[in-house]
Every structure is written in structure tokens, then in C-alpha cells.
């Protein structure tokens, strides 16, 4: 099922995700729906906050793009996409990269963002299996973007000051629209 993507101004985007305590059938279904939603929106990653759930769960698939990346599990297994990362953590950031970034929750804005060129990720897979891999390039960028979401951090927080000022008006408008839409929804539920 394709889920609705929460837009900038929705308070859930600023919530820190709670750890997934147990991988229940509901969590597996949620991950499947998140993958479907990511593909439907032509995205390369989606965090649980973006579909209204403050959980440390994210899905990623960078294979549809031409931007270079590498990914290698520490035990030499091929990295299968789409990736489902349950309770992921990033470590060993190395090097720098600057590249254009956007967000399915902030559709009108993109900007160059500085990220680590390489990171190591530890997480659980959807069957509770431990997952550890090192990645570079686009995959490292997407991982860092999605893990930010899981902490309530958005890529606009990482823009340089001048870019932030240049998009401030657009952000304000989006926030207003989202807050108005949420109010309307709540009124509809009550009425």
C-alpha cells in the first residue's frame, strides 16, 4: 500500500524515533508499504517519520540512479536492495563529499549538502538478522540523510547559512500549508 508522505511542517518529522523492540508482522508490513511508497515517489530512501511513525526504521534503494556508490557487507555478502534497516547506527565516518540533496517531505527544495564520503552501518534486517556494511558515495549520503530523519533532523538543518536564508520563505509557506491541512484533517475527524 502506498502511504501518504508527511510534508514539512508536520511535527512527526521532528520526532526522534523509538527503537523497534520486536519485528512483528505489523513492522514487516510497514516496511513493505514504505518500500512501495518510496518507489511510487521515485525516492531513493524513506524514513518511518516520513509516513507518520516515529520509529528507527528506514528503507533505501539507490539502484535506480546513475550516481556512483559502493556498499560491502563486512562478512563479504552482496548488499541486497531494497535495504530495510531496523534500528540502524552509523559509525566510522571518513572523508567528505558535497552533493545535491532533496527530500520527499520537502519537495520544492534541493541544495548542496556536505556529508561523510564513507560510513559504516550496523542494523538489524527484517528477520532480525544483524547487518553490517561499509558504504561510499550516494549510498553513504542516503544513509546519512535517512539516519538524520530517525533523529528528527532534516537536510535543511545542514544547509549553509546563505542557502538557508534563500529558502526560508519557501519553507515558511510549506509549513503554513501543512499546519492548515492538518487542522482541516482533525476537524474532519471530529465532525
144-183 mask for Zn ion (x: CB under 5 A)?
----------------------------------------
CB of 149 to Zn ion, least distance (A): 6
CB of 151 to Zn ion, least distance (A): 12
CB of 145 to Zn ion, least distance (A): 6
Minimum CB distance to Zn ion smaller for 23 or for 59: 59
CB of 104 to Zn ion, least distance (A): 6
Minimum CB distance to Zn ion smaller for 84 or for 103: 103
Binding of Zn ion by 48 (CB under 5 A): no
Apex CA 177: angle with CA 181 and CA 11, to 5°? Answer: 70
Answer yes or no: 146 catalytic: yes
Cell of 110: 534541493
Q: Which residue is nearest to Zn ion (CB)?
A: 103
Stretch that binds Zn ion, among 20-28, 76-84, 101-109, 171-179 (CB under 5 A): 101-109
Assess contact for 123 and 86: CB atoms under 8 A: yes
List b or e across 46-65, with b for residues whose CB sees 16 or more CB atoms inside 10 angstroms.
bbbbbbebbbbbbbbbbeee
Distance CA 155, CA 153 (A): 7
Distance CA 121, CA 143 (A): 8
Stretch that binds Zn ion, among 8-16, 29-37, 96-104, 161-169 (CB under 5 A): 96-104
CB of 144 to Zn ion, least distance (A): 11
DSSP string, 7-20: PTT-GGGGSPPBP-
Distance CA 182, CA 173 (A): 14
Minimum CB distance to Zn ion smaller for 107 or for 130: 107
Residue in 87, 89, 72 with CA at minimum distance from that of residue 22: 87
Binding of Zn ion by 103 (CB under 5 A): yes
Binding of Zn ion by 46 (CB under 5 A): no
End-to-end CA distance of the chain: 27
- State how far Cα 187 lies from the chain centre: 29
Q: Which of 15, 100, 108, 146 is catalytic?
A: 146
Residues involved in catalysis: 146
Residues that bind Zn ion (CB under 5 A): 103
Amino acid at each position: 500500500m502506498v502511504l501518504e508522505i508527511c510534508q514539512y511542517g508536520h511535527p512527526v518529522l521532528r520526532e526522534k524515533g523509538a527503537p523497534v523492540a520486536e519485528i512483528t508482522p505489523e513492522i514487516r508490513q510497514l516496511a513493505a508499504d514504505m518500500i512501495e511508497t518510496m518507489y511510487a515517489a521515485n525516492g531513493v530512501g524513506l524514513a518511518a517519520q516520513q509516513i507518520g511513525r516515529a520509529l528507527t526504521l528506514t528503507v533505501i534503494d539507490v539502484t535506480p540512479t546513475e550516481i556512483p556508490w559502493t556498499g560491502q557487507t563486512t562478512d563479504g555478502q552482496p548488499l541486497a536492495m531494497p535495504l530495510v534497516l531496523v534500528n540502524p547506527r552509523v559509525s566510522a565516518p571518513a572523508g567528505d563529499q558535497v552533493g545535491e540533496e532533496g527530500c520527499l517531505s520537502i519537495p520544492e527544495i534541493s541544495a548542496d549538502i556536505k556529508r561523510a564520503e564513507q560510513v559504516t552501518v550496523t542494523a538489524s534486517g527484517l528477520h532480525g538478522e544483524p547487518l553490517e556494511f561499509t558504504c561510499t558515495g550516494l549510498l553513504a549520503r542516503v544513509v546519512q540523510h535517512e539516519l538524520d530523519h530517525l533523529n528528527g533532523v532534516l537536510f535543511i538543518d545542514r544547509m549553509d547559512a546563505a542557502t538557508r536564508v534563500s529558502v526560508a520563505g519557501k519553507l515558511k509557506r510549506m509549513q503554513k500549508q501543512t499546519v492548515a491541512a492538518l487542522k482541516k484533517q482533525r476537524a474532519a475527524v471530529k465532525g
